[in-house]
A and B are shown apart, each in its own frame.
Chain A
Amino acid sequence: MSMAAPPANVIQLRGVYRTYEMGDQVLHALNDVDLDIARNEYVAIVGASGSGKSTLMNLIGCLDRATRGEYRLEGIPVGGMNEIELARIRNREIGFVFQSFNLLARASALKNVMQPLVYRGMPRAERRERAAEALQRVGLGDRLDSRPNQLSGGQRQRVAIARALVGQPAILLADEPTGNLDSQTSREIMGLIDQVHDAGQTVIMVTHEPDIAAHCRRVIRLEDGRVAEDRRQAA
């Protein structure tokens, strides 16, 4: 085979543990998790606080490493990677969207979206062009030079989504993307994320709001670090 077909599962977790030692207590934030997520799935991870959602999110996002078990992203085992390789994966394969937007306060919308491309060593002109395009797609083509504090919450989250997608990552990871937004704006943002999914993007979202989870085709509920429920639903 000259060209290896991409593996069907973008994400593959096998027997994954993430344990924290606090004094002599051992806390299993993730406790023997098996999980497969295929290309273009639309997944919600739900669960009570302390159930391990954020830990799972950080692990999938390569911000953290499993204590035990195997994590393959696009078929590549992440466990043995060093810091530089992990940074490279975060840069190329993952787009983060956070509850609190996490934009660079001093930089314009355009610069925020250009930032991930900096770490690819992409020439400035090309970065600018791609970032402008990405902002256009989220409907902010006319706010390229606005700073985060000149934008509304919804607009900020749009910038964050543009930033997450500008590098064409394998997955979009959203952590409570509507948590800081009013219901009208939340609907707009969810509409945008739906569009992203419809365009073929794999989307994984952490949320505790049932009506947000209802957008997703698959809901994974965590309890005490284990997968308690894995349910598929119609859109």
Chain B
Amino acid sequence: MNMLLESFRSALESIRAHGFRSLLTSLGIIIGVTSVIAVVSIVQGLSHTINAQFEGLGGNSLTIQSYTPFKRALQGHRAKLRDRDIEVIEKRVEGISHITPVLFAQSGTRGMVSYRSQVTFTNIYGIGPSYLEVNSVFPQRGRFFTPEDESRRRLVCTVGPDVLEELEMPEDSMGEFIRLGGDWCKIVGVMEKRGEIFGFSQDNYILMPYATAKRLMGASRDLDIQIQLLVDDLNRLDEVKDRIRQVLRREHGLGAGEPDDFRVRTAEQLTESFNKVIDTITYVMGGIVGISLLVGGIGIMNIMLVSVTERTREIGILKALGATRQDILLQFLIEALALCMIGGLVGVAIGFGLGALVATFLPGFPPAHVPLWAVALSFGFCAAVGVIFGIIPAAKAAQLDPIDALRYE
């Protein structure tokens, strides 16, 4: 232990004695670690925020969408989910607390909305009363839809706070009318603010009663809806999911060999697919960093070899004073290791600083977040590089014959 401490102390002295050279030597390591920490901190910051947002969405919620396999689409078929599907799910599947249809009530992807001379585009959803619980978003002002609104297909809506802003409407716009396509619609409530994900606002949308939306879209048309629902017990999520599949397959009259014409997704799956993207970025970065650390390691080996030659006489002296091969090996190995670790430390610091800087200066960017595993992994990698590339110079030093080494000029 004492010996290890001494080796470490003498390694630090030697690194300090050649300050500039040591800096240049570990530059490869510094750059490698800096880039990994910077990228990981930014990517993880993003992923952290997004996961937090998804958690708000509820881990026990399920979304069912229609899905047309490519082959069927070519044949002109178009899978749909209809009101009947909701009914059979409600009737046949147990363990569901809330269920709501979601109808995208616009012809394109986004509907045109206007108030006085202001025009904007937004998502318009026709929803059932359970939408609030399923998405855990509630009106901040005004009211939500009443059963009357639904049964009489009243032209009322609640809006996300961004819509008011876009249309330059006053904060208290309850009772004002906005124009959706060809119809006038009364604002009865304003939803609470949810903020942004990835710089995309989560507050730019309009909700209206399901029946109203259907009327706007043309009541006679065969519409495709989404179904969102909440499961009572998170532990039974998979069970409920399987049961829904079973019920819907029967309802749609699918034979044994036919694929599903719908998809049941959990909020978790949304997160997962996002996390896959994140993982890919991380792996690619890992590869780049691996290469740069390799290059850095070679630099360190090179300088350590030079250093061993330069210090041949010193090694001879140490051996004459009673250093064993192991002592010399340890000293040079620890020196290479210390070079790498210091490089790693500087890299982590710069990388974190860079990540924080990016997060501060880019608007709407989540704060940098460096997970402990990234730091640990960086240091682990640095240590491995130090040992792998330090062992050859250290072994060379240890093998020196003391007499030859003492005679070396």
Q: Which A residues are closer than 8 A to B by beta carbons?
A: 58, 61, 63-64, 83-84, 87-88, 90-92, 96, 98, 102-107, 115-116, 118-123, 163, 167
CB distance from B320 to the nearest CB of A (A): 5
From A103, A106, A116, give the contact of B17 (CB < 8 A). Answer: A106
Docked complex Cα distance between A159 and B215 (Å): 102
CB distance from A88 to the nearest CB of B (A): 7
Docked complex Cα distance between A8 and B326 (Å): 34
Q: Tell whether, in the assembled complex, residue A84 and residue B324 are in contact, meaning their CB atoms are under 8 Å apart.
A: yes
**Extra inter-chain contacts (6) besides given A58-B403, A91-B322, CB under 8 Å:** A87-B324, A87-B327, A90-B322, A115-B318, A118-B3, A119-B322
Q: Which residues of B contact A120 (CB under 8 A)?
A: 322
Docked complex Cα distance between A202 and B351 (Å): 61
Q: Majority SS of interface residues in chain A?
A: loop
Q: List 20 A-B contacts (CB under 8 A).
A: A63-B319, A84-B324, A84-B326, A87-B322, A87-B324, A87-B325, A90-B322, A91-B321, A102-B317, A102-B320, A103-B317, A104-B314, A105-B314, A106-B13, A119-B322, A119-B324, A121-B3, A122-B2, A123-B2, A163-B321
Docked complex Cα distance between A163 and B318 (Å): 12
A-B pairs with lowest CB-CB distance, top 9? A91-B322, A87-B324, A119-B322, A116-B321, A90-B322, A102-B317, A63-B402, A121-B2, A84-B324
B202 at the interface (CB under 8 A from A): no
Q: Of residues 342 to 357 in B, which have CB atoms within 8 Å of A's CB atoms?
A: none
B323 at the interface (CB under 8 A from A): yes
Q: Tell whether, in the assembled complex, residue A90 and residue B403 are in contact, meaning their CB atoms are under 8 Å apart.
A: no
Docked complex Cα distance between A122 and B3 (Å): 9
Q: Tell whether, in the assembled complex, residue A92 and residue B321 are in contact, meaning their CB atoms are under 8 Å apart.
A: no
Q: Tell whether, in the assembled complex, residue A83 and residue B321 are in contact, meaning their CB atoms are under 8 Å apart.
A: no
Q: Which residues of B contact A116 (CB under 8 A)?
A: 321-322
Q: Which residues of B contact A105 (CB under 8 A)?
A: 314
> Known contacts being A63-B402, A63-B403, A98-B406, is A106 close to B322, with CB within 8 Å?
no
CB distance from B319 to the nearest CB of A (A): 7
Q: Which residues of B contact A122 (CB under 8 A)?
A: 2
CB distance from A61 to the nearest CB of B (A): 7
Q: Which residues of B contact A91 (CB under 8 A)?
A: 321-322
Docked complex Cα distance between A144 and B271 (Å): 66
B14 at the interface (CB under 8 A from A): yes
Q: Which residues of A contact B316 (CB under 8 A)?
A: 102
Docked complex Cα distance between A80 and B43 (Å): 62
Q: Which residues of A contact B14 (CB under 8 A)?
A: 106
Q: Of residues 296 to 340 in B, which have CB atoms within 8 Å of A's CB atoms?
A: 313-314, 316-327
From B6, B317, B320, give the contact of A61 (CB < 8 A). Answer: B320
Q: Tell whether, in the assembled complex, residue B323 and residue A96 are in contact, meaning their CB atoms are under 8 Å apart.
A: no
Q: Which residues of A contact B3 (CB under 8 A)?
A: 118-119, 121
Docked complex Cα distance between A103 and B317 (Å): 8
From B320, B325, B326, give the contact of A96 (CB < 8 A). Answer: B320
Q: Which residues of A contact B403 (CB under 8 A)?
A: 58, 63-64
Q: Of residues 209 to 262 in B, which have CB atoms within 8 Å of A's CB atoms?
A: none
Q: Tell whether, in the assembled complex, residue A104 and residue B324 are in contact, meaning their CB atoms are under 8 Å apart.
A: no
Q: Which residue of B lies closest to A164 (CB)?
A: B321
Q: Tell whether, in the assembled complex, residue B17 and residue A119 are in contact, meaning their CB atoms are under 8 Å apart.
A: no
> Known contacts being A58-B403, A123-B2, is A90 close to B325, with CB within 8 Å?
no
CB distance from B25 to the nearest CB of A (A): 17
From A64, A87, A104, give the contact of B317 (CB < 8 A). Answer: A104
Docked complex Cα distance between A119 and B6 (Å): 10
Q: Which residues of B contact A87 (CB under 8 A)?
A: 319, 322-325, 327
Q: Which residues of A contact B325 (CB under 8 A)?
A: 83-84, 87
Docked complex Cα distance between A98 and B319 (Å): 14
Docked complex Cα distance between A98 and B408 (Å): 14
> Known contacts being A106-B13, A106-B14, is A115 close to B321, with CB within 8 Å?
yes
Q: Tell whether, in the assembled complex, residue A90 and residue B317 are in contact, meaning their CB atoms are under 8 Å apart.
A: no
Q: Tell whether, in the assembled complex, residue A119 and residue B320 are in contact, meaning their CB atoms are under 8 Å apart.
A: no
CB distance from A1 to the nearest CB of B (A): 30
Q: Which residues of A contact B326 (CB under 8 A)?
A: 84
> Known contacts being A106-B14, A106-B17, is A88 close to B406, with CB within 8 Å?
no
From B2, B17, B321, give the contact of A90 (CB < 8 A). Answer: B321
Docked complex Cα distance between A151 and B17 (Å): 19
Docked complex Cα distance between A147 and B94 (Å): 85
CB distance from B47 to the nearest CB of A (A): 48
Q: Which residues of A contact B319 (CB under 8 A)?
A: 63, 87, 90
Q: Which residues of A contact B320 (CB under 8 A)?
A: 61, 63, 90, 96, 102
CB distance from A63 to the nearest CB of B (A): 5
CB distance from B190 to the nearest CB of A (A): 71
Most-contacted residue by chain B among A63, A88, A96, A123 (CB, 10 A): A63
